Amino acid sequence: MAGASHLLLTPSTLRELPAGWALKRLDSVCEGVFDCPHSTPELTDHGPYLARSQDVRSGVFRTDGAARISEATYRDRITRAEPQHGDLLYSREGTYFGIAAEVPHGIRVCLGQRMVLLRPNPLTADSRFLRYWLNSPVMALHAHGYRDGSVAERLNLPTIRGLPVVLPPLPEQRAIAHILGTLDDKIELNRRMNETLEAMARAIFQSWFVDFDPLRAKAEGRDPGLPRDIADLFLDCFEDSELGEIPAGWEVGCVDNEFDLTMGQSPPSDTYNETGDGVPFYQGRADFSLRFPMRRVYCTAATRFAKAGDTLVSVRAPVGDINMASEHCAIGRGVAAARHKTGSRSYSYQFMRSLKDVFSRFEAEGTVFGSIGKKDFHAIPCVMPPRDLVVAFEWHLSPIDERIEVNERESHTLSALRDTLLPKLISGDLRVKDAGRFLQERGL
């Protein structure tokens, strides 16, 4: 009988494997399983990345929100192993424990606390296949059954080393990883494209309504770089106001003057369901994604609603996260819906994003958690541009917004397809016929 240190922790939900497939311990298919340094490093503005559990929660290591460390700290934290492309970052503790993400190509990253580095043996396990297996529903349920820790959920290192890995023949692993990876690659491409489009939209809003670049160009005798009918909406001089220098002809008011605002309300919890009864119901920031919310629950007794295109603002813990309603939906007390009185969805969305610093003050003032009520929301002061200019902005931005929405909808469809295929492929319920030929035809 194998010693306790070599036990294979078999998932209770795992069914009989297809012929030729094997079940092995994680450490037997890896060249190394490396624990993190158990210390909190000092962060810097520049330098190599530090991987923390929140950075891998989607199954992909996100550099956009990752922390940075100095070169000296990096060298100190890679003494056990320096992460390289093909290695897996595995979260062992905290809210996002039990999630694997591949080390991206061309970046330097080291382990933060709560992380483990897995180095698959390429002669035994395909790195991408192993990531899909570790992130599969079978393994999510299995890992939660072996967690310990009364305060923070965690997996200890012996448990991680003994995690079970289902191994098809290597060509089939690669074929499965290619099928799922093709979907993920397109989802990631859409995400990056949308981030670029979002940045473009923010830049245009900043230029027109914050920096007043077209007006400054006209005042200096330069071409504002806009169609004539839009350029004519900007005068060529400023005037003083209680909010500082603003374009002549613009006014100062408050959110109540410019926007229709609906504060959410939460019906009894027993009216919520996940079966599609009622209307989509969003309760707060946890439901938000990059631009449009991720559907969480439905509600059969909703009382407050948002229309497709309304800007959704989280008004409780935290205050000020922004999304846009992609369909008619209900909103709970953690969300408000806003729309400019012209009906412009693009201006509403970008304006609410521009209030980040204002919203942050309400977050800091909360006694238990931050919140903003309707009265305070309505009273937020703002510059009021001519309505014709807001309409022109909507026309100018609508192609960008439409492209973002198309990309997001496509990604949701691809994610659903991937999530349907993943458990079938890694369990053998769905097989890749003649995996070697499959790979050869695709140049893999």
Residue 341's nearest CA partner among 374, 399, 377, 388 is 388
Could you tell me how many residues make up the chain?
444
Domains assigned to the chain? 22-167 (3.90.220.20), 168-221+386-427+437-444 (1.10.287), 251-384 (3.90.220.20)
Give how far Cα 168 sits from Cα of 20, 177, 387, Å: 7, 11, 62
Kindly report the backbone phi and psi dihedral angles of residue 316, in degrees, each rounded to the nearest multiple of 5, phi listed first.
Answer: -145, 130
What string of pLDDT tens digits covers the 444 residues of the chain?
Answer: 334 456 666 666 677 888 999 999 999 999 999 999 988 899 999 999 999 988 898 888 988 889 999 999 999 999 999 999 999 999 988 778 889 999 999 999 999 988 999 999 999 999 999 999 999 988 888 777 666 655 557 788 988 999 999 999 999 999 999 999 999 999 999 999 999 999 999 999 999 999 999 999 999 999 999 999 999 999 889 999 999 999 999 999 999 999 999 999 999 989 999 888 999 999 988 888 888 987 779 999 999 999 999 999 999 878 999 999 999 999 999 999 999 999 999 999 999 999 999 998 887 654 456 899 999 999 999 999 999 999 999 999 999 999 999 999 999 899 999 999 998 998 888 888 887 787 787 877
Largest Cα span, the chain:
87
Confidence (pTM): 0.82
Task: With CA atoms as reference, report the closest residue to 422 among 185, 122, 183.
Answer: 183
CB within 8 A of 60, min separation 6: which ones?
101, 102, 184, 188
- Amino acid 3: pLDDT: 41
Distance of CA 209 to the CA centre of its chain: 28
